Copies of this chain bind each other. A is one copy, B any other.
C-alpha cells in the first residue's frame, strides 16, 4: 500500500480526532451510562445537553450528549493545528465540491462543517476551552477510569474510496485487511495523532458509526468495568470481550450505550509517528486478525451501527462480512 504524498504533506493539518455528538433519547439514562458507569467527567450540563471529558484531557469535551427524539450521531469533530488550517480546509472542501458552512459551537472557536464522501458530518475547529488538569485528581477516578478518547470506527460502503478520501486530508494507514480474492480493501485503520488510528473503516452498509473508543492503561481497568456493569444492571450492555485483536494488538471490550451506540474500551496501542512506518496487511481469511485469541464476536458486532443524523445509507457492493460464528 503506497503512501500518497498528501499523507506526508496534507492540504491542511488535522491534529487528532476531538469529539462526537450523540443525539440520545433518554439523557438521564445516558448520563448513568457515561458518567456513573464509565467514569467520564461532566464539564457542563443542562436539561438538553451534557458535555464530558476523560481524565487526562484538557479540552472541554470529547463527547456531547444531546437530547433528541431519535437516537443517532450528530457529527464527528476534529481539531486543526492553527487558524490558517481552518481557511485551507474550507478552501479544500469547497474545491472538492463538498458542502461547507461555518457553525457556532459552545466552548470552542470558529467551526467548519462539511461531510465526507459518504455524507458523514465532519466538523473542524482550532480552539476549544482548556480546563484545569485533573489527571492527578485521583479521587475523581471511577468506572473504567477512561484517560482519553482514542478513535472513531465506521462502516463504509466502499472502503477503498474512504481510504482515498482520508488519505487526501493526511490520514495515514497503519493496518488494513485485504480481500485476496478481489484485491479490495476490506477495512483500514488510519491515524493523525501518532497511534494506530484516529479513524477506521470497515466494509458494510454505511456510512454508520461502528464505535467510539476510549483508551485505558491496563486490561484490569476493563475487567473492573465488566465486574461493575455485570452487577449494576448493565449486563445486557456488554456486547463483546474482553479479548485481543490481532489488528492493532488492542485488548478490547465493546459495550452499548442506552441508544445502542457502541463504545470500545481499549488498551495497548503503539507509536506510529515515523513517516516510513509500514502498514501491516492482514488477510480477510485470517481469523486471528479479528481475535488473536478468545471467543468469536456476536453477530450484532458485525452488523449493527449508529446512523448519522440525516445521512442516507448505501449498501456495499462487496459480499457480506464473513462472520466467524462461534
| Chain A interface residues toward B at CB < 8 A | 8, 15-16, 56, 58-59, 79, 81-82, 127, 130, 133, 135-139, 147-148, 193-194, 217-220, 223-224, 226-232, 235, 238, 240-242, 244, 246, 249, 251, 267-268, 270-271, 273-278, 280, 288, 292-296, 298, 326
Contact = CB atoms under 8 A, between A and B. Distances in A.
Most buried by B among A15, A59, A228, A293: A293
B241 A223 contact: no
Given A219-B223, A226-B244, A294-B242, A231 B139 contact: yes
Nearest to A218: B218
The 3 closest A-B pairs by CB, nearest first: A295-B295, A230-B293, A326-B326
Given A219-B220, A274-B59, A294-B226, A235 B288 contact: yes
A238 to B, nearest CB: 5
**Of listed A226, A241, A244, A274, residue having the most chain B CB within 10 A:** A274
A298 B326 contact: yes
Contact of A223 (B56, B251, B275): B251
Given A223-B244, A230-B293, 10 more contacts: A15-B273, A130-B278, A136-B227, A138-B230, A138-B231, A138-B232, A193-B271, A217-B217, A242-B242, A295-B298
A295 B218 CA distance: 20
A135 B16 CA distance: 24
B8 A82 contact: yes
A292 B194 contact: no
A8 B82 CA distance: 9
A133 to B, nearest CB: 7
A246 to B, nearest CB: 7
Given A81-B275, A219-B223, A135 B293 contact: no
Contacts of A228: 138-139
Nearest to A135: B249
Nearest to A55: B270
B193 A226 contact: no
25 contacts: A8-B82, A16-B273, A56-B270, A58-B277, A127-B276, A130-B276, A136-B231, A136-B246, A136-B249, A138-B228, A138-B232, A139-B232, A193-B271, A193-B273, A217-B268, A218-B220, A223-B251, A227-B292, A230-B244, A230-B288, A230-B293, A238-B294, A294-B295, A295-B295, A295-B326
Contacts of A133: 280
Nearest to A147: B270
Contacts of A249: 135-136
Nearest to A291: B230
Contacts of A148: 270-271
B242 A79 contact: no
Contacts of A232: 138-139
A176 to B, nearest CB: 14
Contacts of A235: 288, 293
A219 to B, nearest CB: 5
A39 to B, nearest CB: 12
